[in-house]
Amino acid sequence: MSGIGLIFNPRAGQNRRDPGVALRLSRKLGDNGVVAIPRTVDELFRTAEDFLRLRIEVLGIAGGDGTNHVTLTGFHRIWRNRPLPTIALLRGGTMNTVASSLGLPRGHPERLLDRLLRRYTQRSLPAIAQPTMNVEGQLGFLFGTGLVPAFLRAYYETGEPSAWTAVKTLARFATGAVVGNSISRQPIEAEVTTNAGDHWPMRAYSTIAAGTIRDIGLHFRPFARAGEVPETFHLLGIHARPNEIVKDLPRIFRAEGMREGKANEALAREATLFVRTPTLPYMIDGDLKEHPGSELTIRLGPYVRIATMS
């Protein structure tokens, strides 16, 4: 059997508010595929093994950025060196930053599945090749330390994930930075080297972040050079003070980058961070992690084919 294998996350933002959507998606797929609802990592691995045996051609993901990242990581681990199926990002999460940054169609997972099925049954499914990053064996499109996980932690602690909550959390950060009472964590002391020969000496950074897509959320585009050079990610080390970052938010929104002297940047396929702390909190595609060690390497991951459904 070939066809569409669909991973559905019932805990994703939009999906959680519509408990009947999984059944409706399954009915829409009919004989063209199968829906799986893995609730643990082990169940995801078993689903990846099943989809490999079924020779799935398209891997649909109904969930947000975190669901995409966990699914790609799990399938990459099980499928090993085999090419992954074409990926169809059907949204269903709260923010869906990756899908939006790539210019993919918006809408409810059901509407997007209709578009996917139309193209698939016509045997005409356009796709783009998109690089990932590999952080300690985890695949994703966005990475960040310092301010980035601090912002997400404050956002998640509200218990009300939504675009409006994200805006309010950003406003709290901006106000705190301007009045000198930032709610963010202290800057991280780090040194950075890249495969391209860049060396950023040990200093304090508000954030060190990287992306293979331009957006980081709320239409802010700090990684404006993502895709400029094939097989690289855009790496940023922002050492400006929080109040200076606030001043540059309009520039970041317009994808113009920070003002000169406020940040280091590089295009690389590998970068290593050396920090002075025994652990390093970080974010990958909206998921919060903690690296146990003072050295962390980001590598270019495999390219994945993402269906545009246009």
Cβ atoms of 211 and 143 closer than 8 Å: yes
Least confident segment among 3-7, 8-12, 51-55, 260-264: 8-12
In this prediction, residue 241 carries a pLDDT of: 83
Is pLDDT above 90 for 275?
Answer: yes
> Is 131 a member of any domain?
no
d(CA 169, CA 226): 26
The domain that contains 254 carries what CATH number?
Answer: 2.60.200.40
In this prediction, residue 156 carries a pLDDT of: 80
> Is 310 a member of any domain?
no
In this prediction, residue 58 carries a pLDDT of: 97
> Is 86 a member of any domain?
yes
Tally of CB atoms within 10 A around 49: 13
> Is 130 a member of any domain?
no
Is pLDDT above 60 for 293?
Answer: yes
| Residue 163 CA: distances (Å) to CA of 17, 85, 139, 160, 218 | 15, 30, 24, 10, 8
> Is 308 a member of any domain?
no
Domain hosting 238: range is 142-301
Is pLDDT above 90 for 74?
Answer: yes
Domains of the chain: total: 2
Chain segment 87-98, per-residue pLDDT in tens: 999 998 878 999
Is pLDDT above 90 for 170?
Answer: no
> Is 214 a member of any domain?
yes
Question: What is the mean predicted confidence (pLDDT) over 78-93?
Answer: 93
Share of the chain above pLDDT 70, in %: 96
In this prediction, residue 159 carries a pLDDT of: 72
**Cα–Cα–Cα angle for 147, 153, 156, nearest 5°?**
140
Chain segment 106-163, per-residue pLDDT in tens: 999 999 999 999 999 998 899 999 999 999 999 999 999 998 998 888 888 777 777 7
The domain that contains 21 carries what CATH number?
Answer: 3.40.50.10330
Do 174 and 115 belong to one domain? no
Cβ atoms of 235 and 267 closer than 8 Å: yes
Choose among 220, 184, 190, 181: nearest CA to 208: 190
pLDDT range class, residue 1, cuts 50, 70, 90 = low
Crossing angle for the helix pair 242-253 and 163-178, nearest 10 degrees? 140
Which two structure tokens, joined as six digits, stand for 190? 């780090």
In this prediction, residue 221 carries a pLDDT of: 95
